[in-house]
């Protein structure tokens, strides 16, 4: 202003009036913004108060429910006590121990109690049962006692106990004649109610009070005074009432909710200072006021700028400097703002951004100016309604919301934004301003919380969260699925509500000890569902601790392992029991035998082990089929089990082999008697679905510790004795002897060596001539297998052939013999024009286990031997099996042109029927008949009969074992065609037999 400007107040300057109008407009606009802001602030204030009212009402309902539950559980116990004392007043009155036991039982587990009194009708104390010995006071000194004696109504009476920090509950006791004989009075600990009132409330500003119509029972804090009118609640006119005392002085302004406690005529008041309620609102209002101040400053300074244009030229420079100074201050405030500020023109082109914007977005000022804010959009679907945003902004309203944006480097970030329009003096929108804050970390935290909540609910395992007092706070849906309890049913309850009663207290003590030491526990536990079902679960518990190491949460995860336990039991059964008979299998048998040995050794007793093998069981399988064989095994198992004691063990080792363990053996006759019964029982006929079958048993018996002291040797001994019983004629029992052990040892050694004999080329073939009786010429030969074992020397066929048949080695050995003999026969054909034939012995096991026809055909093709030069020798035992498969193979062999000879004819089941049924070409008379041919008329008669029968059936006959000329002459006269025996030659090695083949003319007797 000019130094000499007139100060006359009556003069009127048009420029000064214009300046005034411009400044007044700016102030008016700022005032309007403040009024609008105040309106928003007031609405926000009302919202905060309304939310606080809802919170206090919900809190009141919860506290009313907990209060009612606490009183109700005590009242139920009191009613049970009144009922019991009413019926037995006199006896309980005279028996303090019984009375105290009754009180302890009735009020067990009620943590809210301090003590329980039984008073006489006149108020004298009869019994006192205390739960808290830290402080107590005689109840007869309380005003509550006075009201009690004046009002002996048959109902619950509630009132405060002065100086006892307790709430008294009382019910009168009447005897069966209706006479008042006493009272039961229970003291509820006020501290217990205070504890449950403040659970989950981290803010200590809450105030609580519990009222009865005529008195206050409880207040938190204790010195807090309440002067509320609660008559409408007590009268039942309203269940809940909220009172706003905002009109009181600042330090006394509160918001109070009164809630009726169901069933007991009580009211609980919850109160919160207004200071706590509106604190967040005040902070937000202050922040908005700062923003408003910035806007107001911009508006006023803009008006002031216009105002300065009307100043005199001489003050223009001065005013411009002043304006620039103010703008610099404003610019510094925006430039240094901790939040992002962006200003666009009316067409949404960016005109200004502050440094915080470039820091957050990564775009420089040059890159962003002139761009549309959409350049920041992450193009991710969000909840932001842009059409609604623009509608609000174009109406001049402020908009608040969130944006999901993308930085220049492509990373995503979230912003909380406040947008508003800037208008000129004509009300036209010229610019938009956005104040934004980076909330990426907050959103990530929210997403993590949402993810955790989703995982919590979606987890297949049950999850239970308990507070530091081990009270359930929350559970997931899997918890409800497994236990049957809803979250409302378990919230606030201890996990012990799920206890099954199967575990002792020591179990839970060890669990808690592990949690306190290591912070975790895991194991199997049995709990109870809501429906009462007890079930197993796998439980894992982990503690959550604060920074000071104090436990603040217990997190439990568990799963129902009922099915897994059943699977384990089934697998354990399958692993230890035979699926067919239900008897213990080899694994369980060995375990039980080992345990029996340990027990017998400790008690100095004996044990008998019986090894049982069924005779002719394979015949049942082959003739009736495996299904009937299984039925027979099941029946045999039942028969064995029925004859032994429950303390003994019957097991099936496999196939048709069974074992019996007889423990606590005192007399060998006991075992002999049992063996006789077992043999008789096993040999009885078996009715297999109308098919009668007969089998018997061979039993080997060994005694502990007489024969052996370990499982392996006992089992070996019993098996050896069983084989001896079979060799002795079957359907017998045999005790183990040392001689059997030596024979079994030799047998096992030979079996081991036999497995390697082919590979080591220890087998050789010997050949015994078969001579034409009429001409004396070499007609054929029988191939005989010899085994020279380096360790045992020459092993006779009667020892190793049965062993080869039992072990199955007869199959590869028989194949080798057949191929070797046929190759040798082809060599003879190259050295003479009349090569002899070759007879090869075939085991019955070969016909039962392999395709003999295919073996013979392949061998003939491979060696080139003509089929008519080959004869297969079989025993009579093969023919009596009457197996269609065997019969078919014999016919097909014969169709190949190969001869079939019955070896040792006359010693077994000789029958004309099978000579007619089977394609036999030759029979060989057993040497036992030839030996006594010239000295025994019966033997001569048998031989004569065989020769006559053979001639009738057109069969060739070979007499075995011919050693004397007289024998040969008698056979010739009887019509026998061929002889074999030591008269001409014993079995000889290949080299010697080749010389016989090359020799021309009749063979000469062996010297």
**CA 473 to centroid of chain Cα atoms:** 27
Residue 566 in 3-state DSSP?
helix
CA distances (Å), 279 to each of 37, 40, 42, 437, 842, in order? 18, 16, 14, 21, 108
Residue 12 has what pLDDT? Answer: 46
**Contact between residue 337 and residue 359 where contact means Cβ atoms under 8 Å apart:** no
Residue 15 has what pLDDT? Answer: 47
Residue 11 in 3-state DSSP?
coil
For the ranges 51-65, 398-412, 550-564, 868-882, the lowest mean pLDDT is seen at: 868-882
Tell me the average pLDDT across 89-118. 84
**CA 440 to centroid of chain Cα atoms:** 41
Question: With helix as H, strand as E and coil as C, how does 197-208 read?
Answer: HCCCCCCCCCEE
Q: What is the pLDDT of residues 398-439, one digit of tens each?
A: 888 888 888 888 888 888 888 888 888 888 888 888 898 888
Output 765 or 340, whichever has higher pLDDT: 765
At residue 350, does pLDDT exceed 80? Answer: yes
Q: What percent of the chain has pLDDT over 70?
A: 89
Cα-Cα end-to-end distance for the chain: 168
At residue 358, does pLDDT exceed 50? Answer: yes
CA–CA separation, 201 vs 204, rounded Å?
7
Residue 728 has what pLDDT? Answer: 85
The answer regarding whether domain 459-567 maps to CATH 1.10.150.130 reads: no
At residue 457, does pLDDT exceed 80? Answer: no
- How many CA atoms within 13 Å lie on the side-chain side of 265? 10
Residue 11 has what pLDDT? Answer: 43
Q: How confident is the model at residue 611 (pLDDT cuts 50, 70, 90)?
A: very high
At residue 67, does pLDDT exceed 90? Answer: no
Domain borders along the chain are 75-193, 324-438, 459-567, 582-736, 758-998
User: Do 75-193 and 459-567 share a fold?
Assistant: yes
The answer regarding whether domain 324-438 maps to CATH 3.30.390.30 reads: no
Residue 145 has what pLDDT? Answer: 62
Residue 1 has what pLDDT? Answer: 41
Output 167 or 613, whichever has higher pLDDT: 613
Q: What percent of the chain has pLDDT over 90?
A: 28
Q: How confident is the model at residue 808 (pLDDT cuts 50, 70, 90)?
A: confident
Question: Nearest 5°: CA angle at 418, between 413 and 420?
Answer: 135
**Contact between residue 981 and residue 962 where contact means Cβ atoms under 8 Å apart:** yes
CA–CA separation, 669 vs 983, rounded Å?
54
**Contact between residue 26 and residue 302 where contact means Cβ atoms under 8 Å apart:** yes
Measured torsion, CA atoms of residues 315, 319, 320, 321, in degrees rounded to the nearest 10: 110
Question: With helix as H, strand as E and coil as C, how does 104-173 read?
Answer: HHHCCCCCCEEEEEEEECCCCEEEEEECCCCCCCCHHHCHHHHHHHHCCCCCCEEEEECCCCEEEEEEEE
Work out the mean pLDDT of the chain and round it to a whole number.
Answer: 84
Pick the CATH number of 582-736 from 3.30.70.270, 3.30.1360.30, 3.40.630.10, 3.40.50.1220: 3.30.70.270
At residue 817, does pLDDT exceed 50? Answer: yes
CATH number for region 758-998 = 3.20.20.450
Output 897 or 279, whichever has higher pLDDT: 897
Q: What is the pLDDT of residues 105-143, one digit of tens each?
A: 888 888 778 888 888 888 788 888 877 655 555 554 456
Q: Which CATH superfamily is domain 75-193 in?
A: PAS domain (3.30.450.20)
Tell me the average pLDDT across 885-907. 87
**Contact between residue 41 and residue 285 where contact means Cβ atoms under 8 Å apart:** yes
Q: What is the pLDDT of residues 659-695, one digit of tens each?
A: 999 998 887 778 888 999 999 999 999 999 888 889 9
Output 250 or 778, whichever has higher pLDDT: 778
At residue 958, does pLDDT exceed 60? Answer: yes
Contacts of 210 (CB under 8 A, 6+ apart): 67, 167, 193, 216, 217, 218, 219, 261, 266, 267, 268, 269
Output 190 or 851, whichever has higher pLDDT: 851
φ/ψ (deg, to 5) at 567: -65, -40
Identify which of 659, 698, 662 has the alpha carbon closest to the alpha carbon of residue 682.
698
Residue 9 has what pLDDT? Answer: 41
For the ranges 38-52, 425-439, 732-746, 916-930, the lowest mean pLDDT is seen at: 732-746
Question: pTM for the full model?
Answer: 0.39
**Contact between residue 714 and residue 708 where contact means Cβ atoms under 8 Å apart:** yes
Q: What is the pLDDT of residues 180-222, one digit of tens each?
A: 888 888 888 878 888 888 887 777 778 888 887 767 777 777 6
At residue 18, does pLDDT exceed 50? Answer: no
Q: How confident is the model at residue 315 (pLDDT cuts 50, 70, 90)?
A: low
CA–CA separation, 429 vs 525, rounded Å?
72
Residue 882 has what pLDDT? Answer: 60
Identify which of 833, 836, 766, 801 has the alpha carbon closest to the alpha carbon of residue 985.
766
Identify which of 228, 274, 310, 303 has the alpha carbon closest to the alpha carbon of residue 14.
310
Identify which of 522, 531, 524, 482 has the alpha carbon closest to the alpha carbon of residue 503.
524
Q: Which residues pair with 613 in a beta bridge?
A: 657, 698
């Amino acid at each position: 202003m000019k130094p000499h400007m007139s100060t006359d107040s009556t003069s009127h300057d048009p420029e000064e009036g214009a300046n005034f109008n411009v400044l007044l407009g700016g102030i008016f606009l700022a005032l309007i913004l403040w009024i609008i802001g105040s309106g928003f602030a007031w609405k926000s204030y009302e919202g905060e108060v309304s939310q606080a009212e809802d919170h206090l009402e919900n809190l009141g309902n919860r506290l009313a429910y907990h209060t009612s539950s606490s009183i109700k559980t005590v009242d139920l116990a009191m009613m049970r006590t009144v009922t019991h004392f009413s019926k037995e007043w006199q006896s309980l009155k005279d028996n303090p121990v019984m009375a105290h036991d009754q009180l302890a039982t009735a009020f067990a587990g009620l943590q809210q109690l301090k003590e329980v009194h039984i008073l006489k009708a006149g108020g004298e104390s009869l019994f006192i049962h205390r739960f808290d010995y830290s402080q107590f006071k005689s109840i007869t000194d309380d005003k509550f006692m006075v009201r009690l004696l004046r009002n002996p109504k048959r109902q619950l009476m509630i009132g405060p106990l002065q100086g006892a920090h307790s709430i008294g509950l009382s019910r009168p006791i009447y005897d069966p004649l209706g006479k008042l004989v006493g009272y039961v009075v229970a003291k509820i600990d006020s501290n217990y109610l205070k504890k449950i009132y403040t659970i989950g409330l981290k803010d200590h500003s809450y105030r609580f009070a519990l009222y009865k119509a005529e008195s206050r029972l409880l207040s938190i804090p204790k010195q807090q005074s309440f002067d509320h009118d609660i008559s409408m609640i007590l009268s039942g006119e309203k269940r809940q009432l909220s009172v706003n005392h905002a009109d009181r002085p600042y330090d006394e302004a509160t918001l109070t909710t009164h809630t009726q406690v169901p069933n007991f005529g009580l009211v609980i008041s919850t109160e919160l200072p207004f200071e706590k309620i509106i604190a967040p609102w005040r902070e937000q209002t202050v922040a908005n006021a700062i923003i408003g101040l910035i806007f107001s400053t911009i508006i006023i300074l803009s008006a002031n700028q216009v105002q300065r244009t009307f100043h005199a030229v001489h003050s223009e420079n001065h005013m411009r400097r002043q304006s620039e100074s103010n703008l610099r201050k404003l610019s510094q405030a925006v430039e240094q703002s901790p939040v992002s500020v962006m200003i666009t023109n009316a067409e949404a082109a960016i005109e200004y951004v502050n440094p915080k914007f470039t820091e957050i977005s990564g775009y420089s000022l040059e890159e962003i100016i002139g761009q549309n804010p959409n350049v920041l959009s992450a193009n991710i679907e969000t909840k932001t309604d842009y059409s609604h945003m623009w509608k609000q902004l174009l109406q001049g309203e402020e908009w608040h919301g969130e944006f999901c944006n993308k930085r220049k480097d492509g990373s995503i970030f979230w912003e909380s934004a406040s947008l508003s329009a800037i208008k000129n003096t004509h009300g036209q929108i010229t610019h938009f301003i956005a104040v934004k804050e980076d909330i990426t970390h907050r959103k990530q935290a929210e997403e993590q919380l949402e993810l955790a909540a989703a995982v919590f609910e979606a987890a297949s395992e049950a999850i239970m969260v308990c507070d530091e007092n081990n009270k359930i706070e929350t559970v997931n849906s899997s918890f409800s699925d497994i236990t049957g309890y809803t979250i409302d049913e378990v919230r606030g309850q201890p996990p012990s509500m799920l206890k099954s009663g199967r575990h002792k207290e020591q179990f839970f003590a060890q669990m808690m000890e592990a949690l306190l030491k290591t912070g975790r526990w895991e194991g199997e536990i049995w709990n109870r569902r809501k429906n009462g079902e007890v079930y197993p679960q796998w439980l894992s518990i982990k503690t959550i601790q604060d920074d000071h190491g104090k436990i603040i949460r217990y997190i439990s995860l568990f799963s129902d392992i009922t099915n897994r336990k059943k699977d384990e039991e089934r697998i354990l059964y399958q692993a230890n029991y035979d699926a067919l008979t239900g008897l213990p299998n080899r694994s369980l048998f060995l375990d039980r035998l080992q345990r029996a040995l340990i027990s017998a050794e400790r008690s100095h007793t004996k044990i008998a082990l019986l090894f049982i093998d069924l005779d002719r069981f394979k015949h049942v399988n082959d003739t009736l089929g495996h299904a009937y064989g299984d039925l027979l095994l099941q029946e045999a198992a039942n028969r064995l089990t029925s004859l032994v004691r429950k303390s003994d063990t019957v097991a099936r080792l496999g196939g048709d082999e069974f074992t019996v363990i007889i423990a606590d053996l005192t007399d060998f006759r006991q075992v002999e008697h049992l063996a006789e019964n077992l043999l008789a029982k096993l040999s009885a006929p078996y009715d297999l679905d109308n098919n009668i079958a007969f089998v018997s048993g061979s039993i080997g018996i060994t005694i502990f510790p007489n024969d052996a002291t370990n499982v392996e040797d006992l089992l070996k001994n019993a098996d050896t004795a069983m084989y001896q019983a079979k060799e002795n004629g079957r359907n017998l029992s045999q005790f183990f002897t040392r001689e059997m052990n030596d024979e079994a040892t030799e047998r096992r050694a030979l079996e081991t060596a036999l497995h390697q004999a082919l590979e080591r080329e220890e087998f050789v073939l010997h050949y015994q001539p078969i001579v034409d009786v009429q001409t004396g010429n070499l007609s054929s030969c029988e191939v005989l297998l010899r085994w020279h074992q380096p360790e045992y020397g020459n092993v006779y066929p009667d020892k190793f052939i049965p062993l080869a048949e039992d072990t199955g080695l007869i199959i590869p050995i028989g194949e080798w013999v057949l191929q070797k003999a046929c190759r040798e026969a082809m060599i003879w054909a190259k050295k003479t024009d009349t090569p002899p034939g070759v007879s090869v012995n075939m085991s019955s096991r070969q016909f039962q286990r392999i395709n003999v026809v295919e073996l013979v055909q392949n061998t003939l093709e491979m060696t080139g031997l003509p089929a008519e030069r080959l004869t297969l020798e079989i025993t009579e035992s093969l023919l009596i099996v009457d197996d269609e498969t065997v019969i078919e193979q014999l016919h097909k062999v014969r169709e190949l042109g190969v001869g079939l000879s019955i070896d040792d004819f006359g010693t077994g089941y000789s029958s004309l029927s099978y000579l007619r049924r089977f394609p036999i070409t030759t029979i060989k008379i057993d040497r036992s008949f030839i030996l006594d041919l010239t000295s025994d008329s019966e033997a001569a008669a048998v031989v004569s009969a065989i020769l006559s029968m053979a001639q009738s059936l057109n069969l060739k006959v070979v007499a075995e074992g011919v050693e004397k000329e007289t024998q040969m002459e008698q056979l010739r006269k009887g019509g026998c065609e061929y002889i074999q025996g030591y008269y001409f030659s014993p079995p000889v090695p290949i080299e010697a037999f080749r010389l016989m083949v090359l020799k021309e003319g009749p063979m000469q007797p062996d010297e």
